[in-house]
Amino acid sequence: MDFSELKRLYDQPLFDLISQSRETHLRHWRGEQVQRCSLLSIKTGGCSEDCAYCAQSAHYSTGVEREDLMPVDEIMRAAQRARAQGATRFCMGAAWRGVRDGTPKFEQVLETIREVSQLGMEVCVTLGQIGMREARKLKEAGVTAYNHNIDTSPEFYSEIVTTHTFRDRLNTIAAVQESGISVCCGGIVGLGETPHDRLRMIEVLCNLVPAPESVPINCLMAMPGTPLADQPPIDIFDLVRLVAVTRLAMPKARVRLAAGRTRLSREGQALCFFAGANSIFYGEKLLTAQNPATDADVALLRAIGLSIEPNDRPVAVPT
Ligand code: SAM
Ligand code: SF4
């Protein structure tokens, strides 16, 4: 889809838009199952990059303590806990600009992946910039998806990050695609971008070949100490519109409600599920930010009659 088509969809009356996205969603995803993903920060804080939203950047005083890469056995225990709580996808995030093949930290990550991939969950990592060599090794070790968000439009990106470029992000995504690992790529709303930027972001995402398997939509968690600490939350209907357009533009993608759900009401989240979201990040912590309690999430899904993807059989794929 090109920008004008996305804009035409987005500008419709809300109920027309969500009726269309609902229809597309049901056609490709049959039932109503919501996937629960767990996200663990395996290396926290002290990042060289200056992403204006991020509490882990070393450029800002956010109170987030810099920690070393977590030992393999500690990550395994967290992964086992996530599985026991019902996650079918386990994501590991590192606050790095990127990582290089041949370094001890990359070897340690590979060893971790070899272990975690034995647990029968999808294994996703987000380690910053990588090239072909790293991507191939990650795949061999058992990674099923690599997360690398473009976060916003190409035009607005340099307002948010100056230590790397939008093109750098696309280069990593290309290396991941080339290796055969699924791409998880989405963005953040509430950075101060316009609706035009949000649709440009979706335009870039849906024209990736192949389109991402997974699209996380983060609502900014305004972190104290970052330049965006005082950003107001975006209007819920803007978020629902974006979820709906994402579903229409990428019918087969898992559309994930990621960071910022603590700022959304239950009704707002329900509307996002209706519009086409079919995954949540699950667990009390999302990297360094708060996330709804797991009991509250299960209660919400039950209250609206959405079934939860079980973790004792292969995960659902779109048709
Ligand atoms: N360093 C790696 C990178 O930048 O790709 C991986 C970790 S980074 C924390 C992963 C993603 O988390 C970012 O691309 C961004 O979309 C999201 N994120 C980080 N801080 C956030 C915040 N305060 N609010 C919403 N989303 C956030
Ligand atoms: Fe570093 Fe990633 Fe945070 Fe940017 S988003 S500062 S690259 S951890």
Express each pLDDT in 66-107 by its tens digit: 999 999 999 999 998 888 888 888 999 999 999 999 999 999
- Identify the residue whose C-alpha is closest to ligand 1 atom 22: 221
The residue behind tokens 């307002």 is 159
pLDDT tens, position by position, 148-165: 999 999 999 999 999 999
**Distance in angstroms (rounded) separating the CA atoms of residues 91 and 15:** 34
pLDDT of residue 284: 62
pLDDT of residue 158: 97
Identify the nearest ligand to the CA of 222 by its number: 1
- Identify the residue whose C-alpha is closest to ligand 2 atom 6: 57
Lining residues, ligand 2, CB within 6 Å: 47, 49, 51, 54, 56-57, 95, 97, 128
> In this structure, is residue 156 part of a structural domain?
yes
For the annotated catalytic residues, the residue numbers are 47, 51, 54, 91, 124, 184, 256
> In this structure, is residue 210 part of a structural domain?
yes
Pick the closest to residue 125 from 114, 133, 113 (CA basis): 113
Count the domains in the chain. Answer: 1
Region 223-232: mean pLDDT is 96
Amino acid at 299: A
Decide the pairing of beta strands 254-257 and 279-281.
parallel
CA–centroid distance, 20 to ligand 1, in Å, is 30
> In this structure, is residue 251 part of a structural domain?
yes
Backbone angles phi, psi at 153, to 5 degrees: -75, 160
Decide the pairing of beta strands 289-290 and 285-286.
antiparallel
Q: Among residues of the chain, what percentage have pLDDT more than 90?
A: 77
> In this structure, is residue 312 part of a structural domain?
no
Residues in CB range of 55: below 8 A, 6 or more apart: 45, 62, 63, 64, 223, 224, 225, 226, 288, 289
Pick the closest to residue 242 from 183, 281, 185, 186 (CA basis): 186
Mean pLDDT, the chain, integer: 92
pLDDT of residue 255: 95
CA–centroid distance, 41 to ligand 1, in Å, is 11
**Distance in angstroms (rounded) separating the CA atoms of residues 72 and 81:** 14
Which structural domain, as residue segments, surrounds residue 271?
3-304
> Is 177 or 260 the better-scoring residue by pLDDT?
177
Q: Among residues of the chain, what percentage have pLDDT more than 70?
A: 93
Lining residues, ligand 1, CB within 6 Å: 53-54, 56, 93, 95-96, 126, 128, 148-149, 151, 188, 218, 220-221, 223, 259-260, 287
> In this structure, is residue 310 part of a structural domain?
no
pLDDT of residue 286: 59
CA–centroid distance, 81 to ligand 2, in Å, is 26
> In this structure, is residue 50 part of a structural domain?
yes
Distance of CA 66 to the CA centre of its chain: 22
CA–centroid distance, 185 to ligand 2, in Å, is 14
pLDDT of residue 24: 95
pLDDT tens, position by position, 95-140: 999 999 999 999 999 999 999 999 988 999 999 999 999 999 999 9
Pocket test for ligand 1, best of 40, 42, 47, 53 (most atoms within 8 A of CB): 53
Amino acid at 54: C
Q: Identify the CATH number of the domain in which residue 287 sits.
A: 3.20.20.70
Q: Is the pLDDT of residue 285 over 70?
A: no
pLDDT tens, position by position, 4-60: 999 999 999 999 999 999 999 999 988 667 888 888 999 999 999 999 999 999 999
Q: At what angle do helices 72-85 and 104-116 cross, to 10 degrees?
A: 30
> In this structure, is residue 209 part of a structural domain?
yes
> In this structure, is residue 311 part of a structural domain?
no
- Of all atoms in ligand 2, which is nearest to the CA of residue 95? 8
Region 246-254: mean pLDDT is 96
Pocket test for ligand 2, best of 48, 49, 62 (most atoms within 8 A of CB): 49
CA–centroid distance, 40 to ligand 2, in Å, is 15
CA–centroid distance, 96 to ligand 2, in Å, is 6
Please, which residues bridge with residue 215 across strands? 255
